[in-house]
Structure 1
Amino acid sequence: MTTSRTRHGRNGNRRGWLAALALGLLLPAAAAAQTATWESLHDQAPERYTVVRGDTLWDIAGRFLHDPWRWQQVWRVNPQIGNPHRIYPGDEIYLYDCGGRPCLGLARGKNVVKLSPEIRTPPRREAIEPIPMETVEAFLRDHRIVDDPDAIDELAYVVAGDERRLISGAGDRIYARGTVVPAGHYGIYRVGESYFGPNGELLGQELESVGEARAMRQEGDIAKLEVLSARMEVRNNDIILPLESRLLESRFLPRAPQREVEGHILAVPGGVRFVGRLQVITLNLGTEDGLQPGHVLRVEQQGERVNDPRSRDVLQLPGDEAGVVMVFRPYDRVSYALVMRASRTLEVGDRVYNPDAQRTSQTQQ
C-alpha cells in the first residue's frame, strides 16, 4: 500500500488501515476482531503529536483513539528505544501505516537524556503519567480499605493524649494500647464507611486518615508515639496502623480486563452521591473479581422505572452509557477508581462492566 503524505490521502487510506486492524496488532486475532474496528481512530487524529509537560498517557491516547484504553492495540514497540512505554515531554508520537495497519510510533525528543538501563532508571516523575497521579496519590493519603473488618479490633488504638489531653495534634505525644515497633512510622485512622454487598455481606471497611505518628517506645501493651502531622484532631479510640505503601504502579497502562467483569458504583468517599470527571469512586469489585491497576470499566446509568399504561406493570427502561472509570487501587472485594470520562452525572448504583465484553455481545447480535 502506498501511503500519501497529504491529509486527504491519509484519510483516504484510514478505512483500509482500520479494516486491517481487525486482524490484530498486539492482541490475538480473535480478541482484536472484538475490540478494534474502523472506529478506533479519530477522524481528526494528528499525523504527529509532541508530548508536553502535564500530558498523561490517557490524554495522548485520546488524541488518536475514540477509546483511549485501546492504546496498546495500535502501539508499535520500537526495539531501538529502551522502555518504549515510558514517554517524556519532547517525544513525538506519530501515526503511520505499518503493513496496511495503523500504528503509533515513538520518536525520542532531543531534550531527553538517555540513561544506561543497567546502571540507572529515569525517575518516575520525569516520564508522563498514565492518569493524573497527583489526584489519586492525594486521595490515598486520606483513605484506605481494611479487607477484614474483624481485624480492626485487634489493632492498636489511642487511649490518651499527653497530660490527659482528649484531643491532640502535630507535635503532641499520644498513648496507644497495642503493639507497635519503636521508631516505626504509623498512620492514625478513624473508622469511616462500611461497604456491603447486595446480600448484606461486609466487603470492606474504609478508614479515614487523621494523621501520622512515630513510635517512641513500648512498655507492656502501652506504646508512646509522637504525632508528626494531623489533618484533624487526634482522639481517643483512633486506630494506629502501619502506613500502607502509597507507591502506585507507575508503569500500568490503561486496558480492559481480560475477563468478563460486572459490578456497581458502591459509594463515593466523602458522602457525595453524584460524581463527575476526575472524582474517586468505590466499586464493589476487587482482585477476587480479577481487577488490577489500570483496568478500565464502562459505566452504564440505570434506566428509569415507569408504569405500563395498559398492564400497569412496572418496567425498567434500558440504561445509557454514562462514562468510563479506571481502577487505580484494588483490594480483595472493593476497589478505588478514578472517573476518566463522564457524559452525564454518575450516581451510586450505576453499573460498571468490561467494555470489551459489551463489544463482544454487540458483535454477536
Structure 2
Amino acid sequence: MMKSLQRILYVGLLVVTSAVMADTIALRDDHPNVYYVKKGDTLWDISGRFLENPWQWPELWHDNPDIDNPHLIYPGDEIRLFWQDGEPRLTVNRDNVKRTKLSDGTVKLTPRVREVDRDSAIPAIPMSAIQSYLKDALVMDRDEILAAPYLIGGQDRRVVFGMGDTVYARDPEDRFADLQRRYGIYRVGEEYVDPETQEVLGYEARRIGLASVRDQEEDMTTLEVIRSSEDVRVDDRLFQQPDREVRAVLYPHAPDEKITGNIIRFFDRINSVARNDVVVINKGEREGMEPGHVLEIFQQGELVRDRQQDEMVRLPRTKAGTLVLFRVHEKVSYGLIMESTRPIYMQDIVESPEGSY
C-alpha cells in the first residue's frame, strides 16, 4: 500500500513538474538555433522566434561573462540557443573579432574593440507605438485638475487659439509659486470608471499643445502657444512637462500574483483594437502593477440556451491576445497589445499568464 502511494505521489509530482516546465520553457516548434539581431528588432519579436511566450525570455537567459550587460542587445549581436543540464538556454554573443583572409587561404583573427551607444540598444517593445502616450497623456484625480492653472482668454477676445497666439492663464490657488518656463496645455476628457465597482479611477488629461511663459504678474501669466495638435480653448489646463522616456530597460515579465482586470479604454478606434494598439486597464500601482508586466487578454464566452436542459449557460472564455504595461498610475495602467488572434473589445478580461503565479 505504501509503495503504491509513493508511486502515485511520484507520478503526480512528475505531472506537476512537467506542467510547470511546459509553462516555463515553451520553445516554438520552428525555433532557430541562432538569430542575428537587426536594426528595427524588438526584444519581444526576437523572443517570439524562440519561445511560445515571448515574455519568458528572462527564464531562459544565460549570462555571458564577456558581456557587461547581456540584457542590452544591439544590432549585429548573435542570439544562440543551447542546452544546459537538459534545459534550453539563450545567450548573446558579441563578435569582437576581425577576420582577414590571407593570400595562402588562412584566416587571421584580430581582436578589436566594438563601441556601442547604449541608446542604440534594441527596445523590449516598439517605442514608436507608445511614445506619444508617455508624453501626451496624464491621469489625474478631480482635486489635481481643479487645482491646476487654466486658460481664461487670449488676444482679440477669441476663445479658440493656435500656434503663435498669446494666451493668458490664471492660478488663484498657488499663484504660480513654482513657475516653469514651459507648460503643456491639456484638455480633460475621459472619466475612467471601474466596471465592477463603479469607482471613479481618474480622469484622462490629454496634451493638445505646448506654451512658453512670456510674463507673470501675481496669479496671471502670459504665454505664447508654440505648438498645438488641435484648437486650444478657454478652460484648458496647464501642467508641468514630465520626463517619461522609456528605453530598452523596460523588460516584459509576469506579475508575482494573479491579477484580473478589464480593458476600460482604447484610443482612435470605435469598436475594437488589435496588435500595436494602446489600451487602458482598471488596475494600477495599488494592485501591484508595474511597467513591463505582461497580461493575457480573454473574452467572455457567449451566453447560450441549452435546449436539452432548458437553461442558459455560458460558453468557455477564449484567449484573444497579450499586452504589456508600459505606464502605470495609481488606479489605472496603459498597455500595448503585443499579440492578438481576434478583435479585442471594451470590457475584455486581462489576467496574469497561466502558470506564472
Q: Please report the TM-score for the alignment, with normalisation by the length of structure 2.
A: 0.85
1:141-167 CA-to-partner distances (Å, cap 9, x unmatched) read: 332211x22321111000001232221
SS, match of residue 174 in structure 1: strand
Q: Is 2:139 aligned against 1:145?
A: yes
Provide the C-alpha distance between the structure 1 equivalents of 2:213 and 2:181, rounded to a whole number of angstroms: 5
Matches within 5 A, 1:185-334: 185-197=182-194, 198-248=196-246, 250-270=248-268, 272-310=270-308, 312-334=310-332
Specify the code of the residue in structure 2 equivalent to 1:337.
Answer: G
1:267-315 CA-to-partner distances (Å, cap 9, x unmatched) read: 1134633010000000001111111111100111111111232554332
Provide the C-alpha distance between the structure 2 equivalents of 1:344 and 1:209, rounded to a whole number of angstroms: 31
Question: What residue in structure 2 maps to residue 101 of structure 1?
Answer: 87
The 10-residue stretch of structure 1 (198-207 or 308-317) with the greater mean CA deviation from structure 2: 308-317
SS, match of residue 243 in structure 2: coil
Q: Is 2:127 aligned against 1:133?
A: yes
How far did 1:39 drift? 6.0
1:122-159 CA-to-partner distances (Å, cap 9, x unmatched) read: 342x110100001100233332211x223211110000
Which one has a bigger Cα radius of gyration?
2
1:214-253 CA-to-partner distances (Å, cap 9, x unmatched) read: 2223211111111110001110000111113221253121
The 10-residue stretch of structure 1 (253-262 or 133-142) with the greater mean CA deviation from structure 2: 133-142
1:92-140 CA-to-partner distances (Å, cap 9, x unmatched) read: 000112232211111114599645xxxxx8342x110100001100233
- Structure 1, unmatched stretches of 5+, are 1-21, 24-29, 116-120
Residue in structure 2 matching 1:168, options 156, 161, 164: 161
- Judging changes above 3 Å, is the alpha-carbon distance between structure 1 residues 32 and 131 closer, same or farther for their aligned structure 2 residues? farther
Specify the code of the residue in structure 1 equivalent to 2:355.
Answer: R
Q: Please report the TM-score for the alignment, with normalisation by the length of structure 1.
A: 0.83
Provide the C-alpha distance between the structure 1 equivalents of 2:142 and 2:68, rounded to a whole number of angstroms: 44
Report % sequence identity.
38
Specify the code of the residue in structure 2 equivalent to 1:359.
Answer: G
- Judging changes above 3 Å, is the alpha-carbon distance between structure 1 residues 31 and 123 closer, same or farther for their aligned structure 2 residues? farther
Provide the C-alpha distance between the structure 2 equivalents of 1:152 and 1:32, rounded to a whole number of angstroms: 52
The 10-residue stretch of structure 1 (310-319 or 283-292) with the greater mean CA deviation from structure 2: 310-319
Specify the code of the residue in structure 2 equivalent to 1:332.
Answer: E
1:34-58 CA-to-partner distances (Å, cap 9, x unmatched) read: 3645861112211110000000000
Q: Is 2:53 aligned against 1:67?
A: yes
Q: Is 2:355 aligned against 1:352?
A: no
Question: What residue in structure 2 maps to residue 122 of structure 1?
Answer: 117
- Judging changes above 3 Å, is the alpha-carbon distance between structure 1 residues 149 and 311 closer, same or farther for their aligned structure 2 residues? farther
Provide the C-alpha distance between the structure 2 equivalents of 1:275 and 1:35, rounded to a whole number of angstroms: 32
Question: What residue in structure 2 maps to residue 43 of structure 1?
Answer: 29
- Judging changes above 3 Å, is the alpha-carbon distance between structure 1 residues 360 and 219 closer, same or farther for their aligned structure 2 residues? closer
> Is contact 2:24–2:59 with CA below 8 Å preserved after alignment?
no
Provide the C-alpha distance between the structure 2 equivalents of 1:319 and 1:261, rounded to a whole number of angstroms: 17
Question: What residue in structure 2 maps to residue 16 of structure 1?
Answer: none
How far did 1:31 drift? 10
Provide the C-alpha distance between the structure 2 equivalents of 1:153 and 1:96, rounded to a whole number of angstroms: 58
Matches within 5 A, 1:1-12: none
Question: What residue in structure 2 maps to residue 335 of structure 1?
Answer: 333
Specify the code of the residue in structure 2 equivalent to 1:68.
Answer: P
SS, match of residue 359 in structure 1: coil
Specify the code of the residue in structure 2 equivalent to 1:133.
Answer: M
Provide the C-alpha distance between the structure 1 equivalents of 2:261 and 2:205, rounded to a whole number of angstroms: 22
1:181-227 CA-to-partner distances (Å, cap 9, x unmatched) read: 44522110111110011222110110121111122232111111111
Question: What residue in structure 2 maps to residue 27 of structure 1?
Answer: none
SS, match of residue 355 in structure 2: helix
Specify the code of the residue in structure 1 equivalent to 2:299.
Answer: Q
How far did 1:76 drift? 0.4
Specify the code of the residue in structure 1 equivalent to 2:188.
Answer: V
SS, match of residue 158 in structure 1: strand
| Equivalenced residues, count | 325
- Judging changes above 3 Å, is the alpha-carbon distance between structure 1 residues 38 and 293 closer, same or farther for their aligned structure 2 residues? closer
Question: What residue in structure 2 maps to residue 11 of structure 1?
Answer: none
